[in-house]
Chain A
Amino acid sequence: MDLFFFLLFAFIAVACAVSVVLQKHPISCALSLVGTMASLAVLYLLLGAEFIAMVQVIVYAGAIMVLFVFVIMLLNAGEESSKGRSWIAKIAGLPALAALLGILGYAMLTFYPMVGPKASLVHFGDFTGGGAKEIGTALFTEYLLPFEVTSILILIAILGAIVLARKEID
C-alpha cells in the first residue's frame, strides 16, 4: 500500500513539474505547480508529517499560489515566445542537467542505498512525532529564537512589498 501511494503521487508530482517547465502559458504553469504541491503534501503525510502536510496545502498551494495567479491576472501575462534561445543552451542543456541529476543522485544514494537489507524503509505510521503538538513544543522551546527572527523577517517583507508597490522607480 505504501509503495502504491508513493509511486502514484511521485508520478503525479514529476508529471506536473515537467508540465510547469513545458507549458507556454503562465496560468497553466501555476495550475501544474499546484498539482505538484498537492501531491507533495500527500507524500509528507506518508512520511508522518501531518502538520507540515496541512501547512503545505494551506500556505503553499493556497496562499502563495493565489498570489501568483493574482499577479498573472493583473499583468495579463500571455504566452511567451521561445525565440532567441542561445545555441549553447540547446546543445549543452540536457547533458548538463543529466550531470546535475547524476551528482545529486550519487550523493544521496551513496549514503542511502536504493534496495537491499541495509535500506531503511518508510512505513506509514512508523513515525508519529510530526503532529501539531510536537511541532509547537519544539517551536516554542528549542527554536524560539529562529521563530522570533522569522516574525521580524515577515515584518520587513510586508514593509518592502508596500514600499515597492507604491514607488515609481525611474
Chain B
Amino acid sequence: MDPQVLMQTLGKGVPTSWYLALSAVLFTIGVAGFILRRNIITVFMCIELMLNAVNLSFIAFAHEHRQVSGHLFTFFVMVVAAAEAAVGLAIILTVFKNRSTLNIDEIDSLKN
C-alpha cells in the first residue's frame, strides 16, 4: 500500500473496518475478563463490556448502510442489558446473603 494514498484516504475519514476491529478487540478483552476473573460482580461487568462491543459494531454497520435499524437494535440491547443488570444484581445479593462469598469458585452447589 502506497503511504501517500493511505494518508489521502485517512484525511477523508476513518475506514469502517477500524471501528469493527475496535469492536473485536473490546469483545475479546471482555471474554478474557469473563474467563479469568473470580469475583462475580467483575464477571458481570465483563458481560456488559461484551454487550458494549457488539453495540459498537451495530452502530458501525448502521453508518455503513445508512440505515436506522442498527440504532434500534442497539437501543433494544441496552434495554435488555438494563433488565439483566437489575435481575442479575438481585441474584448476586441473594447469593451473598446465603453464602457470604462473592468468589465464583466457592459457589459450586450444582457440581457433581
Contact = CB atoms under 8 A, between A and B. Distances in A.
A130 to B, nearest CB: 5
Contacts of A52: 55, 59, 71, 74-75
Contact of B93 (A18, A68, A71, A114): A71
B98 to A, nearest CB: 6
A158 to B, nearest CB: 7
B81 A120 contact: no
B1 to A, nearest CB: 6
Interface string B51-84: 0100111011011101111011011101111111
B106 to A, nearest CB: 10
Interface residues of B, number: 79
Interface of A: 2-3, 6, 10, 13-14, 17-18, 20-21, 26, 29-30, 33, 36-37, 40, 43-44, 46-49, 51-52, 55-56, 59-60, 63-64, 67-68, 71-72, 74-75, 77, 80-82, 84-85, 89, 93, 97, 100-101, 104-105, 108-109, 112-117, 119-124, 126-127, 129-130, 134-135, 138-139, 143, 146, 150, 153-154, 156-158, 160-161, 164-165, 167-170
A26 B29 contact: no
B17 A119 contact: yes
Given A36-B26, A47-B60, A169-B98, A75 B19 contact: no
